[in-house]
Structure 1
Amino acid sequence: MSDDLNIKPTDWQSPEMVRHTQMRNRREKRFKLFGLSAVILAASFLFLLLGKITLDAAPGFLQTSIEVDINFDKAVIGDPRQMGRDAFIENVRRTNMLRLVQASMDIYFSEVTDRRDRRRLLRLFSAGARDQLRNMLLADPMIAGTSKRVSLLASDDIDQVIKGHTDISLPELQRKVKNKELSWLQKFEDDDRVSLHFHSLFFTSGDSRDPELSGIWGAAVGSALTLFITLIIAFPVGVLSAIYLEEFAPKNRFTDFIEININNLAAVPSIVFGLLGLAVFLGTMGLPRSAPLVGGMTLALMTLPTIIIASRASIKAVPPSIRDAAMGLGASPMQVVFHHVLPLAFPGILTGTIIGMAQALGETAPLLMIGMVAFIVDIPASFTDAATALPVQIYLWADSPERAFVEKTSAAILVLLTFLIVMNALAIWLRQKFEQDW
């Protein structure tokens, strides 16, 4: 029959086939080389970005302090034994603690007698030095009347000098730190009273106009409260919507219309959801502006499509045999879904939810639209208190003119990236741990 059809076996050793095979192999090698180059290029950009952020962020975790011998003079702060503890505490709250620092400077720099220079000496220290001394007295009133060496926070300008970010070789008129201040700082350094240490206040305080006093704790609490609202709204609504659309909804034009719009909403820019939250939650419902409650509700609208799509994909991945077996044993459609299908699909649903929450954690535009861009110093204590979020805090610091806020911005970005990496790693771990093959 092959003779009738003139079909001849291929000669794979012929020069033409050898040339064709070599050409194909070269094309495959070029394609692999292009793919590997693309991966290396993308990884290089990623490492370059992370390396730059890490280098800029490292000084943000450090802060300069100056050791000063403080005499807790009873004539200034009062005597707790004579006044009583409550009266003493109230007096300490009202007292200007910089008087104690000024008295110490008058002794340490006895040669400085000019009134203006004596005031400039205090500029070596942060405004937070007052709170440091006040907190020490409130924690232990018995140190009144004693002398103690205290490590006080240096001002932002001095901190930048110690970190090498201020070029002291420039003419004096081009520097914020003047020659006299540099000479006073040099005396502290000669006496080994200047130190650069880990700045725990960055993780425990709220925002501040002074870079050395600002921290991410207020923004972190605001983000946590906002994400909690997002989770308790988006997760149940998203999962129940996916169950209905995948298991119970009739297949008609109406459900097709819903499915198409859910997919379209997943691609809508996040700022549109911010405009919706501004118009509905603030404009119509009158909810408090800049509150985690409103931020969470707005982000829930943005996260819903992601959770619905991921949940539907997980439910659809459950084999039909599971449903058929349950139905064959007499289970109702509701029992089939909640007793058999949903437990098997839950790992995928949880993974999609975590990814959606990670996306919500990094969003800024919707929160800007609902007023969470406000300067918030206090730590929010409830869902209706004014608050900000980590991405918004980064935005505010990036717009600040002080050089130290560049470090704070990079440090906050590093913290935010850490949270995002942890959440995505958790999603991958859950998927691998509970993933089942059928």
Structure 2
Amino acid sequence: MNLNGSRTIDIVNQGLRRRYRAERRFRFYGITAIVFSLAFLSFLFLSIISKGYTAFRQTVIQLDVFFDPNLVDTGNPATDNYPALVRGALHRQFPEVQSRSERRQLAALMSSGAGFLLRDLVREDPDLMGQTLPVWLPADDDVDMFFKSPSSRSVPQSGRRLSDRQIEWLDRLADDGRIRSQFNKTFFTAGDSREPELAGIWGAVCGSFFTLVVTLVLSFPIGVAAAVYLEEFAPKNRWTDLIEVNINNLAAVPSIVFGLLGLAVFLNFFGLPRSAPIVGGLVLTLMTLPTIIIAGRAALKSVPPSIREAALGIGASKMQMVFHHVLPLAMPGMLTGAIIGMAQALGETAPLLMIGMVAFIADIPQGLNDPSTVLPVQIYLWADSPERGFVEKTSAAIMVLLAFLISMNALAVVLRKKFERRW
């Protein structure tokens, strides 16, 4: 019994109850934080998917096209008038349309890229000249968005991009079975375009590929070599401590600073081509090197000292000990760090904006020096476009980028689980 008449066991039990309550509160707070995080993440993904999944479908219209030799078989590609074939097919479909304003409205139903599709068909098969054939051609983005948003039919004409007359023509085409929705392969095979229905991500994907190839070829061997030297061979003094501190600081530097460095050094000093994958790869190499070096050193530290001592004990030199025993065991961790660094580089935008990769690039890049853009910058450009059709293109491109990032991080996890050794 203490001075207050309470037993010691009662005091201990009261303290335990307080600790248990505090533990339950802490657990509740943790679970609540996780639930809120998952809810916000799910909301983000649902928002992106709900806006972007429609971009994988495209509205097309079937027209009976007469391949008039007088319009497209002139012998001079500069004078070939393929859009006139599209307009002629529309006028034959709606012969009652006579006024100039209505003809313009009627022609506006079709994409400006329909003529290019007809040109490709003629180049593949010149025997089409003089024939009339049914051809499925892409509709304008306003028509595409109209069919993807059925509720827009109830909106007054002043709030729509399509007039009542145009909707009447589309209804007639739909009743005749001349309108359908198909898989939008243009989105995956074309480059950028001013027209949403013609825009694709293939140019940006190729630019990202070339840029990441340069980044991987430069950053991985340099990062591994730096990590091996600093961890295994460098003397422990104030200079190596200074280098280590600076590497850690560089990993936290905002990425746009590396873009400014690339602009000053690679473009202005060395005169490398602007908006080229080789410059983007050099800039991203500088940005990812600290991450790869830090991950490489951590992987080397995880190898038990007994491995080093055993190798030296059987007569191996220090070089043989590192490259024959330590480095192979640390390589899975280094690969994981490299993949995470590449995923970080894939999602970067700010440093590439500084070196001119924000330009409008319609052609597919064929090499390291060709003008190009990358997927995050392409998303940035589409998000800034006033065209309504680019909203779904932006979300769809984000979905593709997220798929790449998730795949790369999943690969890093698989490699770590498969090759790591627990000592």
Q: TM-score, normalised by structure 2?
A: 0.95
Q: 1:71 aligns with which of 66, 69, 78?
A: 66
C-alpha distance in structure 2 between counterparts of 1:378 and 1:76, whole Å: 27
The question of 1:20 aligning with 2:28 is answered no
The question of 1:424 aligning with 2:423 is answered no
Counterpart residue type for residue 66 of structure 1: I
Post-superposition CA distance 1:340-367 (Å, at most 9, x none): 1100000000000000000000000000
Alignment of 1:283-322 (within 5 A): 283-322=268-307
Question: Residues 165 and 308 (structure 1 numbering): CA distance in 2 closer, same or farther, change over 3 Å?
Answer: farther
Task: Say whether the 8 Å CA contact 1:92–1:134 is kept in structure 2.
Answer: no
* 3-state SS in 1 of match to 2:149: coil
Please name the residue that 2:175 is paired with.
Answer: 190
Q: 1:134 aligns with which of 119, 122, 132?
A: 119
Task: Say whether the 8 Å CA contact 1:12–1:18 is kept in structure 2.
Answer: no
Please name the residue that 1:374 is paired with.
Answer: 359
Please name the residue that 2:201 is paired with.
Answer: 216
Please name the residue that 1:262 is paired with.
Answer: 247
Please name the residue that 2:105 is paired with.
Answer: 120
C-alpha distance in structure 1 between counterparts of 2:374 and 2:236, whole Å: 42
**Cα distance, 1:94 vs structure 2:** 4.1
**Cα distance, 1:160 vs structure 2:** 1.4
C-alpha distance in structure 2 between counterparts of 1:170 and 1:48, whole Å: 28
Post-superposition CA distance 1:304-361 (Å, at most 9, x none): 0000000000011111111111111111111111111100000000000000000000
C-alpha distance in structure 1 between counterparts of 2:77 and 2:71, whole Å: 9
**Cα distance, 1:165 vs structure 2:** 7.3
Question: Residues 165 and 407 (structure 1 numbering): CA distance in 2 closer, same or farther, change over 3 Å?
Answer: farther
Q: 2:88 aligns with which of 86, 103, 109?
A: 103
Please name the residue that 2:26 is paired with.
Answer: 31
**Cα distance, 1:93 vs structure 2:** 6.7
Task: Say whether the 8 Å CA contact 2:97–2:103 is kept in structure 1.
Answer: yes
Question: Residues 324 and 45 (structure 1 numbering): CA distance in 2 closer, same or farther, change over 3 Å?
Answer: same
Alignment of 1:14-413 (within 5 A): 14-78=9-73, 91=76, 94-164=79-149, 167-413=152-398
**Cα distance, 1:260 vs structure 2:** 0.3
**Cα distance, 1:417 vs structure 2:** 0.3
Task: Say whether the 8 Å CA contact 1:367–1:373 is kept in structure 2.
Answer: yes
Post-superposition CA distance 1:268-319 (Å, at most 9, x none): 0000000000000001111000000000000000000000000000011111
C-alpha distance in structure 1 between counterparts of 2:277 and 2:7, whole Å: 71
* 3-state SS in 1 of match to 2:133: strand
- The percentage of counterpart residues that share the same residue type is 56
Please name the residue that 1:3 is paired with.
Answer: none
Stretches of structure 2 lacking an aligned partner (at least 5 in a row): 1-5
**Cα distance, 1:32 vs structure 2:** 1.1
Is the deviation greater in 407-416 or in 327-336?
A: 327-336
**Cα distance, 1:163 vs structure 2:** 1.2
C-alpha distance in structure 2 between counterparts of 1:19 and 1:375, whole Å: 70
Is the deviation greater in 293-302 or in 322-331?
A: 322-331
C-alpha distance in structure 1 between counterparts of 2:422 and 2:7, whole Å: 41
C-alpha distance in structure 2 between counterparts of 1:283 and 1:165, whole Å: 52
Question: Residues 105 and 132 (structure 1 numbering): CA distance in 2 closer, same or farther, change over 3 Å?
Answer: same
Is the deviation greater in 186-195 or in 424-433?
A: 186-195
| Matched residues, number | 418
C-alpha distance in structure 1 between counterparts of 2:323 and 2:79, whole Å: 62
Question: Residues 116 and 36 (structure 1 numbering): CA distance in 2 closer, same or farther, change over 3 Å?
Answer: same
C-alpha distance in structure 2 between counterparts of 1:64 and 1:354, whole Å: 39
Counterpart residue type for residue 39 of structure 1: I
C-alpha distance in structure 2 between counterparts of 1:18 and 1:101, whole Å: 87
Stretches of structure 1 lacking an aligned partner (at least 5 in a row): 1-10, 79-88
C-alpha distance in structure 1 between counterparts of 2:231 and 2:68, whole Å: 75
Post-superposition CA distance 1:20-54 (Å, at most 9, x none): 32222222111111111111111111111001000
Counterpart residue type for residue 176 of structure 1: R
C-alpha distance in structure 1 between counterparts of 2:183 and 2:7, whole Å: 70
Q: TM-score, normalised by structure 1?
A: 0.92
Counterpart residue type for residue 58 of structure 1: Y
